[in-house]
Amino acid sequence: MTPFVIVGTLMAGAAIAGLAPARLSANRMLVVDGEPTFLIGLYEHPTSDARLQEAIAAGFNLIHCPPDPAALDRVHRLKARAWVNTGYALDLSEDTASRKAALTEMVRKLGSHPALLVWEGPDEALWNCWYGTMEALAPELQAMRDEAAANPRLRGTLELALDLYDRALWDRWETVRTQFWAEAGKRTPVPAARMDTAAQRATTMGKGFAEGCRFLRSLDPSHFIWLNHAPRNSVRAMREHNREVDMAGCDIYPIPGNLRNGHSDLHNTLPSSVGDYTDRMQAAAPGKACAMVLQGFGWRDLQQKVTEAEIELGIGRRPTLREQRFMAWNAITHGANAILYWGTAYLKEPESDESRAFWQDLLTVVREMHGLKRFIAAPDVTPRPRVKVKDHYASNDGTGVTAMLKKVGDEYRLFVVNENPYGVEFTISGLPADIGTMKIERVGNGAVRLGGGRSISDGIKGYDVHIYQIGPP
């Protein structure tokens, strides 16, 4: 490892010895060792060498590491790359001197490590401008209810306050909130928790991230900067936070679709919300790489107690292999440049047969993506193929199937994803002329051979993925 020495203050634009500046390819893939690269990331940093080796052998090529050279050494020995979270040091909107010092120390300590690829900012920071305040206010709202129950003369003010809160009239809520506690003869319990200032705090933080990214890049232009968002917030607000990053995206964990899981707040809360959020994240970071964080756990894994009724109903269950595969390719065919998995570190009873089976299912999906990474990283063949779904008993007007065509050398791969929960027959047209002379074969399911030509027709199950291998006969 080449030592990285800081003498006084680092010069702006000073490159780390031997490393090229970070850059994206024309189709927004991160260029790693000179090649556009599709990233498959693991949030877990396994304590077991065997588990880490198994993950990397399956195709994980980006592993989360704490800011410790020894952790990066483990990843480097297995020929993978690492990302490190900077925390709120990346936000220079406040406490600027100490946060600059923290970034400088991280670069001094890790910037020249051969495993390092990406710096990540604090997780879901924009959402937490709002959610952190809502969490802080929850006990106060309960205290207001308790106070009004004991003192009936406060009930009218309480009802007005709760009505304003529920209607998101934050300025007026703040006034009535203060009035309530004055009438109660008490001080406001958490006066700093203010919803009326959340939007401005988010804007200020966005400017802080822009400044922090520029400062970090002046110290270390050789590594990428990434922000992960919650599946929340406006595109406009996310753009403010994403303006100086190289890669942005969100986490989305929609399985299972029941009342307990409210992870998606789009109208679409189905598994196909993964594709919808992938589109949304690209709109929120135009021209940047898109990294989607998918579900490596079941919501039940995060619960302290689980009832037999919840288990019987499937509440909080883990995604099946078919659902894992669908969500990965749903994101990819919508333009994701990286897929990362969160939650494997939180699997309950990790040595149980059920947990081991879930982990192996995840590795199966990773192996498939890894085996096709050259095609995924290649530019889309344009114009994109046209897809038409045959008339159906469902409320379907010919939509719900997406197709992505890639070419490497003299071979194509056609990726088809059915976002409908039911099976459909479809036709793909507008394929390149040379495909008419090639062999088209659907991978898996007995490797069914299809006819050649500039269009193909096939059937596909609900929430399923077909991959077609197309090449010289």
Residue 190 pLDDT class (50, 70, 90 cuts):
very high
Q: What is the dihedral of CA 55, 228, 132, 265, to 10 degrees?
A: -100
Same fold, 30-125+201-374 and 380-471: no
| pLDDT per position as a tens digit, 100-116 | 999 999 999 999 999 99
Alpha-carbon torsion angle 30, 31, 33, 37, nearest 10: 60
Average pLDDT score over residue span 48-70 = 97
CA angle 254, 91, 28 (to 5 degrees): 55
In this prediction, residues 422-429 reach a mean pLDDT of 95
Q: What is the pLDDT of residue 446?
A: 55
What's the pLDDT at 257? 80
Q: Per-domain residue ranges for the chain?
A: 30-125+201-374, 127-199, 380-471
pLDDT greater at residue 103 or residue 11: 103
Please give the pLDDT value at position 10. Answer: 37
For residue 340, name the pLDDT band (cuts at 50, 70, 90): very high
Q: Which run of H or E residues covers position 97?
A: helix 96-110
Radius of gyration of the CA atoms of the chain, in A: 25
Q: 380-471 maps to which CATH number?
A: 2.60.40.1180
Long-range contacts of 174-183 (CB under 8 A, 24+ apart): 180/144, 180/147, 180/154, 183/153, 183/154, 183/157
Do residues 432 and 452 make contact, with C-beta atoms less than 8 angstroms apart? no
Tell me the mean pLDDT in the region 143-161.
Answer: 97
Output 33 or 257, whichever has higher pLDDT: 33
**pLDDT confidence of residue 357:** 98
Could you tell me which of 426, 418, 420, 434 has the C-alpha nearest to residue 456?
426
Which strand (E) or helix (H) includes residue 279?
helix 273-284
- Name the H helices within 154-242: 155-166, 170-184, 198-219, 235-242
- The lowest-confidence range among 217-221, 295-299, 392-396 is 392-396
* Average pLDDT of the residues in 46-51: 96
pLDDT at 292 over 90: yes
Asked whether the predicted pLDDT for residue 306 surpasses 60, the reply is: yes
d(CA 339, CA 369): 9
The span from the CA of 126 to the CA of 199, in Å, is 9
Pairwise pLDDT comparison (320 vs 307), residue with the higher score: 320
The answer, yes or no, to whether residue 450 has pLDDT greater than 90, is no
Average pLDDT over residues 152-160: 97
pLDDT band at 373 (very low <50, low <70, confident <90, very high): very high
262 has a pLDDT exceeding 80: no
Burial class (CB in 10 A: 0-12, 13-18, 19+), 287: exposed
CA distance 119 to 221: 11
Cα–Cα nearest to 226, from 345, 124, 366: 124
| Residues 201-218, mean pLDDT to the nearest whole number | 98
Statement: residue 11 has pLDDT above 90: no
CATH no., domain 30-125+201-374: 3.20.20.80
Residue 179 has pLDDT above 90, yes or no: yes
pTM for the model: 0.94
Identify the band that residue 14 occupies on the pLDDT scale cut at 50, 70 and 90.
very low
What mean pLDDT, rounded, does the chain reach?
93
Does residue 20 surpass a pLDDT of 90? no
Q: How far apart are CA 203 and CA 269, in angstroms?
A: 28
> Residue 453: pLDDT above 90?
no
* Mean pLDDT across 193-216: 97
pLDDT of residue 258: 67
**Total length of the chain:** 473
